[in-house]
């Protein structure tokens, strides 16, 4: 995949997570690069000591991932490479590994309907310098209103327009230093200055809304949508399976474009045994196109 158009994800406050990286040993040249990239990405997130396990090949990834999923890991990264050759071995391995990891995810991740999150309403002033933050804090201590102080000192246009108000802040939404200060502060106490990459914050917690549980009736609509989505996926999978089975017997492929979805496809050959010669990943795999129904000769 080129990566073009991929979403930009922002991940915060994950440094205390238990993470395991499972990586195939084959193909060494490709896999060492993938492992190094994964470890660098985790290091950038503050995860410096993930568990690293190497397995013989991609085929073993779901098996080891299942074992680790039962040992309290918060996240598991599975890395493997499969190189297309002249036999169906590529499809067999890819299909099995994908099904195994997808099934493991579905079994391990349980949808939660009853949990909410504590939220805090804030009054804030954001300044460029610590000196300006201290001036703003002094003005508040002298009895000036948040609205007037935010108007004079704050560089955050959104909260300034609301009189310095920043409502319904949940854990993990703000930069870590500010986030930690917010959720360790007591209600009604003036806090700061807190240094962040955006500047210096002076703030006060105005209101704390504790996490609340949903009743079954409140969660009913969410449950219905989830079940409908699952049923739609099952119907789509059944349709695709039936479509391929029905049309395979009616699809003859021209020489040079034969795949396993063709009526005239060769019989599958056994999977190569361990130690068998592998195709060099630097060699280009033969180009294959989708099968077409045979047309009468013109």
What amino acid positions are annotated as catalytic residues?
Answer: 89
Which residues are CB-contacts of 87 (< 8 A; sequence separation ≥ 6)? 268, 269, 271, 272
Helices vs. strands in the chain: H and E counts, helices first: 8, 7
Judge contact between 184 and 118, C-beta under 8 A: no
Q: And the tokens for 118?
A: 């504590």
Question: In the beta sheet, which residues pair with residue 194?
Answer: 201
Name the token pair of 84: 């297309």
Element (H, E) at 76: strand 75-79
Considering only CA atoms, which of 40, 35, 44 is closest in space to residue 11?
A: 44
Asked whether 78 and 38 are in contact (CB, 8 A), the reply is: no
The whole-angstrom separation of Cα 114 and Cα 263 is 51
Q: How far apart are alpha carbons 47 and 179 in whole angstroms?
A: 19
- What is the rounded distance in angstroms from the CA atom of residue 220 to the CA atom of residue 239? 29
End-to-end CA distance of the chain: give it in Å, rounded: 38
76 phi and psi, to 5 degrees? -130, 125
Q: What is the DSSP letter of 286?
A: P
């Amino acid at each position: 995949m080129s990566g073009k158009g991929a979403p930009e994800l922002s991940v915060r406050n994950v440094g205390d997570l238990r993470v395991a990286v499972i990586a195939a040993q084959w193909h060494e040249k490709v896999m060492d690069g993938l492992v190094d990239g994964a470890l660098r990405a985790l290091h950038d997130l503050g995860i410096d000591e993930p568990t690293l396990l190497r397995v013989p090949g991609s085929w073993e990834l779901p098996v080891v991932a299942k074992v680790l999923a039962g040992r309290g890991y918060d996240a598991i990264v599975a890395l493997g490479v499969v190189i297309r050759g002249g036999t169906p071995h590529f499809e067999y391995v890819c299909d099995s590994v994908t099904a195994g990891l997808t099934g493991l995810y579905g079994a391990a991740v349980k949808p939660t309907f009853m949990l909410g999150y504590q939220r805090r309403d804030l009054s804030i002033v954001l300044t460029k310098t610590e000196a300006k933050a201290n001036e703003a804090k002094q003005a508040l201590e002298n009895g000036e209103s948040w609205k007037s102080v935010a108007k004079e000192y704050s560089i955050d246009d959104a909260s300034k327009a609301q009189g310095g108000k920043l409502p319904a802040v949940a854990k993990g939404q703000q930069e870590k230093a500010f986030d930690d200060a917010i959720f360790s502060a007591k209600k009604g106490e003036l806090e700061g200055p807190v240094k962040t990459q955006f500047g210096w914050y002076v703030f006060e917690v105005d209101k704390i809304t504790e996490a609340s549980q949903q009743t079954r009736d409140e969660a009913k609509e969410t449950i219905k949508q989830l079940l409908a989505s699952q049923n739609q996926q099952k119907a789509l999978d059944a349709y695709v399976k039936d479509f391929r089975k029905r049309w395979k017997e009616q699809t003859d492929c021209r020489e040079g474009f034969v795949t396993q979805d063709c009526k005239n496809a060769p019989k599958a050959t056994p999977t190569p045994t361990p130690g068998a010669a592998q195709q060099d990943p630097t060699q280009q795999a033969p180009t294959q196109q989708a099968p077409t129904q045979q047309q009468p000769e013109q």
